[in-house]
Structure 1
Amino acid sequence: MKKLFAALAFIATVSPALAASQTVTLSVPGMTCAACPITVKKALSKVEGVTKADVNFDEREAIVTFDDTKASVEALTKASENAGYPASLKK
């Protein structure tokens, strides 16, 4: 029983360390007015796992930080597209 408890305690402490925070830059060329970034930011922020979303109108891009065990680039681009602003990973 002690070994089981020790193993569970170990897993509980190591599991959060396996989750990686990832930051990506998305190109969002469809933003045409100063209000557009607000909509894009709201859409990206609603994706589970997103911890930060900064949207820049002048650069037509969004910089998003997220937990890659809960979100993906595909989920981010879909959220932006569903809000009316198709996005793609900026290279």
Structure 2
Amino acid sequence: MVKSLFIALGLAAVLACCQCSAVHAATRTVTLDVSGMTCVTCPITVKKSLSRVVGVESVDVSFKDKQATVVFDDAKTTVEDMTRATANAGFPSTVRQ
């Protein structure tokens, strides 16, 4: 009886912890201005650099608009990680206001 109670309490604690983590994680979307793109192949490099950031779910880069729209898990990455990734690829970016 006591052993079953401890198992039930342990399972309840694990489930509560899992639910708590899910509440804090959220999918977000950010648009980055990437003004340094000068040719139609630049978006390929920008997209690859952003896609390699852990937590990034999707990337859409527009050469015409000089911007990248990124969907990401905010529990796994930050906007700063993404702007660092584009800068490291030679394309500094800023958050579109």
In structure 2, C-alpha distance between the alignment counterparts of 1:83 and 1:77, rounded to whole Å: 10
Separation in 2, partners of 1:58, 1:17? 37
> When the two structures are superposed, what TM-score results if normalisation uses the length of structure 1?
0.94
Larger radius of gyration: 2
Residue 90 (structure 1) aligned with residue 96 (structure 2): yes
Of all paired residues, the percent bearing the same amino acid is: 47
Q: Does 1:45 align with 2:56?
A: no
1:6 Cα deviation from its structure 2 partner: 1.2
RMSD: 1.0
Secondary structure of residue in 2 paired with 1:76: helix
**C-alpha distance in structure 2 between counterparts of 1:51 and 1:16, whole Å:** 17
Moved more, 59-68 or 7-16: 7-16
Are 1:5 and 2:24 matched, yes or no? no
Structure 1 stretches of 4+ with a deviation exceeding 6 A read: none
| TM-score, structure 2 as length reference | 0.88
